[in-house]
């Protein structure tokens, strides 16, 4: 294979779905994953276990050796949030040179430092870091179902370069909107997972559509408060990265976070609900504590997130709903 145009680091369903999309659109893509058996299986079958109906395009190459992906001029980081900075500390020294830009597609806040990934990776990689986020399920993107997403780039990336990247990463089935609000885009993507757990809880308890609509709407208000105090833009919250992603994740049956909350609402323990999802990462579980720590540091109240935290600590789902419904009355 000639030098890849794009290197994708992380062979989960989402990273692989994006790699498939870009390869299908004509880019040469090198997909790296850290698990040799998994990568060998994908190389042999030209399929991903969680994207079973999709065959890899010829322009997509997979390997557990990062050399081809590291040689690409554009790096896409698609690893689980909590392990991403350490993984890059191991990968970066293996590259002959760094690219001019790294884009991450993970959603979450680091538990250890309460940073977003752009904040953490900028220090690790010493290059500008952007984020790609929005209302997208991996299997639909991999199958070419029409989808729209936000590419948030820092102001250090020139306007012309930003437009070039927007064009490069868009396709007939993946429409990309450009943003300069990196931190707002990241925080929306992280917080929607916490709120999706709460929405799943409402579904699991059988509380109906009225309650779910109220939960999503008030959750959007919580998201807005934290995003704005940390420097994000209100327009981001009301766009694809915020409201769009929240609506999808809080209502879509494919959402891991929503399904996890639903299982707990139906009576499963936290551990049993997580096991039922086959060991998939429930990012909202990691984000909850970090989001609440950031809120506390800035004097903010996030009542829905606080109840999700209590839920994760083993408290009753019914009691969580009771507390939310009996909070002191206030103006919207």
In this prediction, residues 155-163 reach a mean pLDDT of: 97
User: pTM for the whole thing?
Assistant: 0.95
Inform me whether the pLDDT recorded for 327 exceeds 90: no
Q: Are 196 and 190 in contact (CB under 8 A)?
A: no
CATH topology of domain 184-325: 1.10.1040
CATH topology of domain 6-180: Rossmann fold (3.40.50)
Inform me whether the pLDDT recorded for 329 exceeds 80: no
Measured in degrees and rounded to the nearest 5, phi and psi for residue 153 equal: -120, 145
For the chain, percent of residues with pLDDT exceeding 70:
100
Q: How confident is the model over 13-58, as pLDDT tens digits? A: 999 999 999 999 999 999 999 999 999 999 999 999 999 889 999 9
pLDDT of residue 19: 98
Q: How confident is the model over 260-277, as pLDDT tens digits? A: 999 999 999 999 999 999
pLDDT of residue 322: 87
Q: Which residues are catalytic?
A: 192
pLDDT of residue 1: 63
| Domain map (residue ranges) of the chain | 6-180, 184-325
Inform me whether the pLDDT recorded for 245 exceeds 80: yes
Q: How confident is the model over 128-140, as pLDDT tens digits? A: 999 999 999 999 9
Q: How confident is the model over 63-111, as pLDDT tens digits? A: 999 999 999 999 999 999 999 999 999 999 999 999 989 999 999 999 9
Listed residue (68, 71, 69, 67) closest to 79, CA to CA: 69
């Amino acid at each position: 294979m000639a030098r890849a145009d794009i290197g994708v680091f992380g062979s989960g369903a989402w990273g692989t779905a994006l790699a498939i999309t870009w390869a299908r659109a004509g880019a040469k893509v090198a997909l790296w994953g850290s698990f040799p058996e998994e990568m060998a299986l994908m190389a042999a079958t030209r399929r991903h276990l969680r994207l079973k109906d999709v065959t890899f395009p010829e322009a997509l190459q997979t390997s557990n050796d990062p050399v081809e992906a590291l040689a690409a001029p554009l790096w896409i980081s698609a690893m689980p949030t909590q392990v991403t900075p350490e993984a890059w500390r191991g990968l970066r020294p293996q590259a002959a040179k760094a690219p001019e830009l790294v884009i991450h597609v993970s959603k979450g806040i680091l538990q250890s430092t309460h940073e977003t990934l752009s904040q953490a990776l900028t220090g690790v990689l010493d290059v500008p870091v952007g984020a790609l986020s929005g209302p997208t399920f991996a299997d639909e993107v991999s199958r070419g179902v029409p989808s729209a997403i936000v590419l948030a780039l820092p102001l250090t990336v020139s306007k012309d370069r930003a437009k070039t990247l927007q064009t490069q990463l868009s396709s007939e089935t993946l429409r990309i909107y450009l943003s300069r609000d990196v931190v707002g885009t990241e925080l929306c993507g992280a917080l929607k997972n916490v709120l999706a757990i709460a929405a799943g809880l409402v579904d699991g308890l059988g509380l109906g559509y009225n309650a779910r609509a109220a939960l999503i709407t008030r959750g959007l208000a919580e998201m807005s408060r934290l995003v704005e105090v940390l420097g994000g833009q209100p327009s981001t919250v009301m766009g694809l990265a915020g409201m769009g992603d929240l609506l999808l994740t809080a209502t879509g049956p494919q959402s891991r976070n929503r399904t996890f909350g639903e299982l707990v609402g139906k009576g499963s323990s936290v551990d049993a609900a997580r096991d039922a999802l086959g060991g998939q990462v429930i990012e909202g579980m990691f984000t909850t504590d970090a989001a609440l720590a950031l809120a506390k540091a800035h004097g903010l109240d996030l009542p829905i997130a606080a109840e999700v935290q209590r839920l994760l600590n083993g408290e009753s789902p019914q009691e969580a709903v009771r507390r939310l419904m009996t909070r002191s009355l206030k103006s919207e």
